[in-house]
Amino acid sequence: MKLAVPDMISNSYFPAIAAIELGFFKDEGLDVALELIFPVDKAYQAMREGAVDFVAGSAHSALAAFPEWEGAKLLCAQAQGMYWFLVMRSDLNPPRSDIGIVKGRSIGAAPWVDMGLRRLLAEAGIDLQRDGVTIAPVPGAMGAGVNFGVTAAKALEDRKIDGFWANGMGAEVAVRRGIGKVILDIRRGDGPKPCFNYTMASVATTDRLIERSPDVAAAVVRAIVKTLLALKQDVTRATEVGRKLFPPTEAELIAELIRRDLPYYDAAISETFVSGMCQFARDVGILQGQVPYEKVVATEFSKLWR
């Protein structure tokens, strides 16, 4: 079986990656191979076409390939809350939580990831056209093939962009190099309150797989839950995974990033989250109707979340 992630050298989808590398899928009797497919909409399209069986990515992005949630469902969360950071060039001397710093600036963001930033700024009263804000893909990121955030940090260092909206690894690299400063960390309370539930890192599959092989879908959920628990019990296991897959610098950073994320490690997908995500999706124009919770989430596996 194949599981796609849209970003590899990152904390964003680390639980799914670790479930493979630490053997939790294997313990459940599953032979799961990891595939990097960037950007995230391409990963979901691959799942729709049957090229991969699961996507460990941003939950709202399933709508790129499954309009109105027809044909796919979320199995479980990898962690709670929208998990991207707004980082600006440190020489701009930006104050923490000062969203107005984006005015007149160019911000790098990946396709479908950028939707979270656009809606967040709108809720904060920023008008992109009036305020001269440019949000676009990071130069060189589409061909990077490994990690959007790290590529974004390099573009920031080269002054090709004024800021970026990306994962915790990219943010950490930029801060440690002294080239960037975190302005917004959504999980930890920055930004308008609704943005926490715009999206989350989830694991999704198709309705056809759930119908054909519910035992496989259940095994995937159990493996993710076991991985979250294992990392909570011993976060240094993240380094073990990082050293297998990441360049040396990022491998040594990953355990600290995962330690910060542990309070959000919960596989549950609540009705409150789905309501918030669907409202966000309607606001940005990727969802038209009202969709019931049971159409978005494979609720038959909810008892396995804990």
Is pLDDT of 141 > 90? no
Range of the domain at 217: 2-81+199-304
Label residue 143 by pLDDT band (50, 70, 90): low
Other Cβ atoms closer than 10 A to 276: 20
Number of domains in the chain: 2
Q: Which two tokens stand for residue 11?
A: 């904390």
Q: Answer yes or no: do 109 and 172 share one domain.
A: yes
pTM of the model: 0.96
Do 216 and 304 meet the contact criterion of CB atoms below 8 Å apart?
A: no
Do 279 and 199 meet the contact criterion of CB atoms below 8 Å apart?
A: no
Map tokens 């194949």 to a residue: 2
> What's the pLDDT tens digit per position in 8-34?
999 999 999 999 999 999 999 999 999
Q: Of 9, 32, 38, 283, which is closest to residue 171 (Cα–Cα)?
A: 9
Q: Answer yes or no: do 132 and 262 share one domain.
A: no
Q: What is the pLDDT of residue 64?
A: 98
What letter represents residue 89's amino acid?
R
Mean pLDDT, all residues of the chain: 96
| CA 203/CA 280 separation, integer angstroms | 19
Structure letter (DSSP) for residue 137? P
Q: What is the pLDDT of residue 150?
A: 82
Q: Answer yes or no: do 93 and 7 share one domain.
A: no
Q: Answer yes or no: do 179 and 102 share one domain.
A: yes
CATH number of the domain residue 16 falls in: 3.40.190.10
Is pLDDT of 145 > 70? no
Average pLDDT over residues 154-176: 94
Q: Which two tokens stand for residue 77?
A: 């969360």
Among 190, 208, 226, the domain-final residue is 190
Q: Are strands 54-58 and 2-5 parallel, antiparallel or unpaired?
A: parallel
Other Cβ atoms closer than 10 A to 51: 13
